[in-house]
Structure 1
Amino acid sequence: MRTLKTATHPDVHTLEDKSVFHRLASRAIVVRGTDILLLFTERYHDYSLPGGGVDSGENEVDGLIRELKEETGAQNVRNIRPFGAYEEFRPWHKPDYDVMHMVSKCFWCDIDEELGEVSLEDYEVKNGMRPVWVNIHEAITHNKETMAKSDKQGLSVERETFLLERIAREIAC
């Protein structure tokens, strides 16, 4: 899978003498015209692609399907095709590691029209996460405003905005 970008958080100056936690994530790209299925997170006031960490013993496609179903209620996930990977190095918030190295592998896919029930984790519920269909350009504009003006933005908003811009270029809308 092609690497779209490698990003390093400004607080990560070097990996020398650092303990690094490696995480593989899968993210879904589901589009209908100029609308895209995203997660809106109230806590961070941003839009993100559905997806998350691939569990031990799980491949990236199985992780993608599981995460997409849990976070959006997607049904009959099919026609899965690679889009690209976003690699990042950022500070790790737990005491056992200094840095997290995450590779987010993104895949195009199709789903049934109707969404089913979501099965969010406790922290996702507390953060006010919910699936929404939104115009991709509106989501990009919204995320850019959050990056420019909000003090509550999360570490993922730059990744998500970059990916949304690349997706918008590829669907040429």
Structure 2
Amino acid sequence: MHVLKTHYHPDVTSLENKSIFTRLATRGIAMQGTRILLLYTERYEDYSLPGGGLEQDEDQIEGMMRELSEETGATAINNIQVFGAYEEYRPWHKNDYEVQHMISYCYTCNINTTLGIARMESYEIKNGMKAMWVNIHEAIAHNKKTIATSDKKGMSIERETFLLERIAEGII
């Protein structure tokens, strides 16, 4: 899969002599014209693509379908196509590692426009995550405003905004 971007968090100045933990994740991209299915997270005041970590030995497409269904209630996921990967290096302060190397495999797909019941994890509920169809340009503008003005933003907002901009380029 083609790497769209490799991003280094500002706190990761070198990988030399660092212990690195690799995490593989997937992201689902479902569109209806200029509307895209996203997760809004109240805690971080941002929009993100549905997705998350792959389980041990899980197939990337199966993982994307599982995450998309769990987080949004999406059904009838079909016409899955490779979009690209986003690679990032971030600080990591758990399990004896200093840096997390995360690779997000992104896929476009079609789904039923009516969403079923999401099965979010407790931390996702606690963070105020909600699935919704949003105009992609409004989501990009919102995330850019959050980047510029909010002290609540999380580490993933730059990845999500970059991906949303790349997706928007494809529909213009």
TM (norm. structure 1) is 0.98
Alignment of 1:61-80 (within 5 A): 61-80=61-80
State the distance in 1 between where 2:17 and 2:71 align.
37
1:43 maps to amino acid:
R
Q: Residue 115 of structure 1 aligns to a residue in which SS?
A: coil
Deviation for aligned residue 1:113:
2.0
User: One-letter code of the match for 1:17?
Assistant: N
Q: CA deviation at 1:110?
A: 0.5
CA distance in 2, matches of 1:117, 1:58: 23
Structure 1 partner of 2:6: 6
Q: Tell me, what secondary structure is at the counterpart of 1:30?
A: strand
Q: CA RMSD in A?
A: 0.7
Give me the whole-angstrom Cα distance separating, in 1, the residues matched to 2:132 and 2:75: 15
Q: Deviations over 1:121-149 (max 9, x none)?
A: 01100000010100000000000000000
- In the TM superposition, structure 1's runs of 4+ consecutive aligned residues that sit over 2 Å from their partners are none
Query: Which SS does the other structure have where 2:16 is aligned?
Result: coil
User: Structure 2: where are the runs of 5+ without partners?
Assistant: none
**TM-score between both structures, scaled by the size of structure 2:** 0.98
Three-state SS of the structure 2 residue aligned to 1:123 is: helix
Q: Secondary structure at the match of 2:84?
A: strand
CA distance in 1, matches of 2:71, 2:95: 28
Name 1:108's counterpart in structure 2: 108
Which deviates the most, 109-118 or 148-157?
109-118
Question: What corresponds to 1:41 in structure 2?
Answer: 41
CA distance in structure 2 between the aligned counterparts of 1:146 and 1:10, rounded to whole angstroms = 18
SS in 1 for 2:153: coil
Aligned mates of 1:38, 1:105 — CA distance in 2: 16
The match for 1:27 is 27
Partner of 1:150: 150
Structure 2: how far apart are the matches of 1:144 and 1:97?
A: 31
Query: Displacement, 1:93?
Result: 3.2
- Number of matched residues? 172
Partner Cα distance (2:145, 2:93) in 1: 26
Percent of residue pairs identical = 62
**Cα distance, 1:57 vs structure 2:** 2.0
Match of 1:168 in 2: 168
Q: Offset of 1:95 from its aligned partner?
A: 4.4
2: CA distance, partners of 1:94 / 1:130: 27
Partner of 2:98: 98
Distance 2:156 2:129 in 1: 14
Partners of 1:112 and 1:166 lie apart in 2 by 23
Q: Helix, strand or coil: the match of 1:31?
A: strand
Residue in structure 2 matched with residue 133 of structure 1 by the alignment? 133
Equivalent position SS for 2:118: coil
